[in-house]
Amino acid sequence: MPTLLDMIFPKSCTICSKYGEYLCDRCKKLFKKSIPECYICRRISGGYCTHEKCMRENSLDSMIVLWEYNKLSSTLLKKYKYGLATDVKDTLELLIKERMEEIYNIEYNKKAFCIPIPVSYRRLRERGFNQTDSIGRCIADFLNIKFSKNLVYRRDGSDVHQSLLDRDERFENKIDFYINSYELFEKIEEIVIVDDVITTGSTVEQVARVIKSVRRDIKVKGLCLFRGKPFYKKGEVKTSP
């Protein structure tokens, strides 16, 4: 039974605009679930854990990826980022929780903290908000752990739009993260860093590096919504797109 509100503002699919639901069945099928893999070598690994042999000094203990990155993900994230409709937010957050329920039988720590990938104050002033905050909050809420958006901060100007740089420059582009509260770190045993899309995971690793420079024994995990499918070529592994 449609409500009065539905009649005035009929629901339509966030992705394709088809009237009916906020996410139509056809578009829902476009969400391709990720296969648990090690984020470094991109080969199967239970619980999305980093293989011991792949671990380097600042590697994350695990990197959970919810879905494969495709055309749908970019459309959805663009709408989410620019806050065109609160329905988009609700739809995405509902999907995140559904997907988390499927994969998060992995043990979690009550003394864990969830943080978003930080954006610099300058970027925040320009944009008014950090869209990864609400994704982070949603995940913290699901895991029943604390959320902090200010535990780590980012140096102004370090978040030059990554796509404006070519691959080599991107590699050279130094990103600086700093710790805000050293006191809080004493009580934390695990940190989950949330991002929307990752390619190599190097930005998340940079946050891990600054965290591990304060406490070596802290567990640092990553959780991102989308990542391109891996493809293997002559022994090396690349990420598409």
Residues that bind Zn ion (CB under 5 A): 13, 15-16, 18, 24, 27, 38, 40-41, 51, 54
Instruction: Give the residue with the Cβ less far from Zn ion, 18 or 97.
Output: 18
Instruction: Give the residue with the Cβ less far from Zn ion, 61 or 141.
Output: 61
Give me the phi and psi of 114, to 5 degrees please: -110, 130
Residue 137 token pair: 């909050």
Instruction: Give the residue with the Cβ less far from Zn ion, 24 or 188.
Output: 24
- Within the chain, strands assigned E span 62-68, 112-116, 146-147, 152-154, 177-179, 190-198, 219-227, 230-233, 236-239
Indicate the burial class of 78 (C-beta count within 10 angstroms; 0-12, 13-18, 19 or more). Answer: exposed
- DSSP state string for 199-224: SS-HHHHHHHHHHHHH-TT-EEEEEE
In the complex, the smallest distance separating the C-beta of residue 54 from Zn ion, rounded to whole angstroms, is 3
In the complex, the smallest distance separating the C-beta of residue 96 from Zn ion, rounded to whole angstroms, is 18
- The residue count of the chain comes to 241
- DSSP state string for 165-200: S-HHHHHH----EEES-HHHHTT-SEEEEEEEEESS
Instruction: Give the residue with the Cβ less far from Zn ion, 114 or 198.
Output: 198
Instruction: Give the residue with the Cβ less far from Zn ion, 22 or 142.
Output: 22
Task: Give the C-alpha separation, 218 to 190, whole Å.
Answer: 6
In the complex, the smallest distance separating the C-beta of residue 212 from Zn ion, rounded to whole angstroms, is 19
How far does CA 146 lie from the centroid of its chain? 17
In the complex, the smallest distance separating the C-beta of residue 13 from Zn ion, rounded to whole angstroms, is 3
Instruction: Give the residue with the Cβ less far from Zn ion, 56 or 167.
Output: 56
For Cα atoms 132, 212, 147, give the angle at the middle one, nearest 5 degrees: 35
In the complex, the smallest distance separating the C-beta of residue 129 from Zn ion, rounded to whole angstroms, is 26
In the complex, the smallest distance separating the C-beta of residue 103 from Zn ion, rounded to whole angstroms, is 18
In the complex, the smallest distance separating the C-beta of residue 52 from Zn ion, rounded to whole angstroms, is 9
Q: Which amino acid is located at 14 in the chain?
A: T
Instruction: Give the residue with the Cβ less far from Zn ion, 118 or 201.
Output: 201
